[in-house]
Chains A and B, each alone.
Chain A
Amino acid sequence: MSQPNSSHTPTLVTRDGAVLPDGWQLLNDADEASGDGPYVLGFERALRELDGLNDRCGVRIQPADDVRLLEPFLDKIALVEVAFPGFRDGRGYSTARILREDLGFTGIVRAVGDVLRDQLHHMLRCGFDEFVVKDADPAEAVAAAAKRFSVAYQGAADDRLPAWQRRLNAEAAVS
């Protein structure tokens, strides 16, 4: 028996399957900035400090945080880390879709925390582009999630057309 995937070291991987070093440094409320950054700020701290910052930074958003509060500062944000403290907590999926589809955020949306391969398909559809995933083979996990379903029934934050739209298109192509 192999060990559970969740016991593997979390690894940063992109939606294209590239495994990257994580150069971002998390600054919680009381932490002093040290080194060159770039920094990821906790949500409350980000709301307090983003206005005065010159460099673009990252924000870590917890499930209960209202992502829409970031709206005035989006041009200051390069990365949003959406935290999944437990894989059963699905609030982060709404957070990501709101960021992408409602707020039009174009920076990086990253899933962190209890991220396992079975969530990746849904995360890809909700607009995440990076994952700090626990898996024996993170790149393969993302590739498998991307091609797991050949069809989608509903529109989301990715470019897949809902099945009804594809049916309409197929009909139009025939007539």
Chain B
Amino acid sequence: MHIKTSLAVGLFAVAVLPFAPTSASAQNMNPELLASNCVVCHGPNGESVSHIPAINALNANEISDRMREFRDGKRAATIMDKIAKGYNDAQIDLIAEHFGAK
């Protein structure tokens, strides 16, 4: 985007009020946020609009089983084997429940 640079921005220096620091151990486990990483390839709600498989027709157990198989090297993949390794069992189950056909 193009911003007009000729106009000075009327910003006053203000003291930063530090937001409560986040503990390194507190991982965000919100299912919707975790699942939001998946939709860039698999489409909003897992309903892919293009050449990458949709996941919304699978049920939660099928999704979590496949994620574990990818993660554990038991299912061939071009890329999902790498991605799945980033998620633990609890995260996989939350994501699967989020997308799984109800």
Instruction: Check if A and B associate.
Output: no
Where the two chains meet, the residues of A that have a C-beta atom closer than 8 Å to any C-beta of B are none
Q: Which residues of B contact A (CB under 8 A)?
A: none
